[in-house]
A and B are shown apart, each in its own frame.
Chain A
Amino acid sequence: MLLSRLATVFAAVTLCRAQISEYFDEKLTVTPLKDGKVASTLAFTTLLKNASPRNVERLHDDDDSQHYTLFPLALGQILREYGVTEMHLTLNAGKWNYDSWGHPVEPGVGTGAELWAWIGDGALSTVDARWKGLRNALAGLFCSSLGALDELRTTSPTEVFQPEGSLPSSTPHQLRHASHPSEHVCTENLTPFVKLLPCKASAGLATLLNPHRLFDANWHGMGVHVLWHEDEGVEVRLTFQTVSDPLRNYQARKQDWSFESLFGRKVERACPAARSSIVEVSLPQDSPYNLSPEPTLAEKDVAWFDIQPASKPVDISMSYMPDFNPGLAARLAKPSTPLSVQRTLKESSQAHGQLSVVLKNHESYPIQAVYLETMPWIVQFYLHTLTATLDGHPYTSAFSNLSYIPAVPHSRPSTFHVLLSIPANSTLKVTMDVTKAFLRYTEHPPDAQRGWDLPPAIIAPLNLDTNRMYTPTLLVDLATPDFSMPYNVIIFTCTLLAFLFGNVFNLLTRKFVVVSLKPAPSSTIKED
């Protein structure tokens, strides 16, 4: 009796000292869109079960040994070195068209590079120092210039970017968010991304990552997401989303797609390290289609394929019966999202402009949405000119909970955060006057006449179940000087200096002498 009780206690104790185990899942989601394009999302999730983020108070002591089987060691080193609990990095290229394409599977679709992280506070080094270290370490890992996300672009919008996982309750955490819209994505970023996967590009769904076809797509973006779930462990999710156009490569006007036509490759063999490999295809509702091979599980609007036990190469394809008619489909259908946003910057002169945001509510109930703008200091808001019009008439009850952190010139961006309420089936237009800064000579980028990219604004609807939306980036044209001016200035100054100096010196040291003049020949009469 006592022995059995002791045995259960002993078993409970051993079970409580849980072992760290690792699981790897991969998933591909393919969605045909209503304008003929195909959106595909590859998600590779590695779960480090029963692990927890590093205790930041002991950040300067020696760390425990890190032993990983599936979890990427390079990323694990970076996370533990800087005490980061949650991190999201996205590198996107293109403009996500919410009206035609709906909401993406992964919500972070802002153009360029976006990095935000929840970092624990309380170590000897400050959160900002570790944020800088994190940016530079990720820049080295992914071969992208994330080191440029410095204090000119870093803000802390805690209400919109809530942690997607859990944060340890023992230490306070701070948010750092930075966005760099002019960052380009290329193969150099994809190669280290693929190296973080257990099976790399040799087996499993990762063989579909063909850079030639991926970077040829209408929209493409990759993301690295690190979360901590309190009851599960540390999760790393690597995602790659594309929107490709099968109509571009096809002679006939049909929107058929297959792995071969989308990615240029088939899945040759399964990844032995993966716990599950699933392909999920959204089935079209309004036109007849043919899906091959047979799905493992099919419902009314979704079909699932389990490619883990694959014995021969897997190539999933969908073919349609009638030709594609873009006009009819697009015109008859409602916009794919309840809210449509359009943001423009009207620049009347090189010193002033007007920022205008038009939000359309297509639903029959009012929508409340948080509008967040992290504008660099080069464009400064005149907050007193913030006005709203609803379907052309002035509307005063649009704004509530306005919070504004003004910009510090040459240093910090401004954070503008307001809660908008848009009534049903109406258009809300928000305008605000802005002033454009005059930059110092050394702050201009090499291609100064192109202008500056402004990061996307973020709209987070509150009473919908959709995640945040990103507006496209804007291009602002600032006053650029004549860059040959230093040469002109030197020449001008030297000329002026020589002229003035010569005149003054001459005046001061001039010597007056009397010179005798020979009498003029006409005054004497020569007598011959």
Chain B
Amino acid sequence: MGDLFTDTIVISVLAATIRIATPLILAALGELIAERAGILNLGVEGTMLMAAFAAFIGAYATGSTLMALLLAVLAGMAMSFIMVFMAATLKVEQVVTGLALNLLAAGMSLYLYKAFFAVEGQAMPTVAVMPVAPIPFLSEIPYIGPILFTQKVLTYVALLMVPVVWFFLYRTKYGLEIRCLGENPKAIDTKGMSVSLRQYGAVMAGGALCGLAGAFVTIGSSARFVPDITNGRGWLALVIVIAANWRPSGILIAALVFAFLDALQLQIQGIGVQMPYQIFLALPYVLAIVLMVLKSRRGRSEEPARLGVPYFRGER
């Protein structure tokens, strides 16, 4: 058991934590923007899955990481376009729309995968995984270097997005307007500003972040695409938004906690401790439930008051 706590192992667990947190942070930030605009997008999982697939196809066809990321972002935005069209324009029940998006993505990614690769023989197609990009000098700092600064570009992007999204939401007028949509869209409407235009903007910007999250799951971590490769990360992102009490900084913390549990689990499996690893797999979700229970007793919730409620002008 002593092995568990040597420096190298601690460093590798913490580095893995940051890596695993990457798609969680990106997806949760994306969902945060949408939810702040009052739209409950339960389709995160599906949005990530489609983006993951798009990134894989992009990388496979062009060999360019940039093209892959671009495709993933477009896929994320396309999926969230469906979401916001249903929610803001048709004013359909948002929960149902989100769930439908997930089913759509699960089926479609698999179908497209088969359509693309069925003819190309037996071997599973592979792409080059994004390389680690150590930051000069910073990566040489003991402990911190290998944990924080020896990561992939998307990970740096994810960490950077935390303050960026915070600044956007709390220090720009667009952010103010978006937060207003989640609390009381009529306040926007009575000033003669379009509610739905802003919801489109917010949800699709969130979709773009979700797209990056999806890309990390394939070309950021795996050379292959397998069905359902996102494996619940989108759902975890939804929980993270709640656990974070709808704050960007909270998202960073919550994502790191969940990721740490996962990293620990991998490590324990790796060194062959005699314990059913499923227990650790379940840990993030158990923690999520505990957090939800605690949240219900905590003081003021930051949950947007009109989350998931369609806006009608003539309502009274």
To the question of whether A and B form a pair in one complex, the answer is no
Enumerate chain A interface residues (CB-CB to B < 8 A). Answer: none
Q: Point out residues on B near A: beta carbons under 8 Å.
A: none
